[in-house]
Amino acid sequence: MIDYDKQVEKKYNVWIWILSIIIPIAVAALFTIKIPGVERMGFLPPIYATTNAITAILLVLAVVMIKKGNRRMHERLMKTAIIFSVLFLVLYVLYHMTSDSTTYGGEGAIRYVYFFLLISHILLSIVVIPFVLVTYVRAISGKFKMHKKIARITFPLWLYVAVTGVLVYFMISPYY
pTM of the model: 0.91
22 in a structural domain = no
165 in a structural domain = yes
Q: What is the 3-state secondary structure (H, E, C) of 90-134?
A: HHHHHHHHHCCCCCCCCCCHHHHHHHHHHHHHHHHHHHHHHHHHH
The answer to whether 170 and 113 have CB atoms below 8 angstroms apart is no
Q: Which domain CATH number covers 135?
A: 1.20.120.80
pLDDT tens digits for the chain (176 residues)? Answer: 456 577 778 888 999 999 999 999 999 998 888 888 888 888 999 999 999 999 999 999 999 999 999 999 999 999 999 999 999 999 999 999 998 888 999 999 999 999 999 999 999 999 999 999 999 999 999 999 999 999 999 999 999 999 999 999 999 999 98
Q: What is the domain extent for residue 166? A: 40-175
| Among 11, 27, 84, 8, residue whose Cα is nearest residue 53 | 84
| 23/96 Cα distance (integer angstroms) | 15
Question: Which run of H or E residues covers position 60?
Answer: helix 44-67
27 in a structural domain = no
Q: Is the dihedral of CA 67, 71, 77, 80 positive or negative?
A: positive
104 in a structural domain = yes
Number of domains present in the structure of the chain: 1
The answer to whether 74 and 62 have CB atoms below 8 angstroms apart is yes
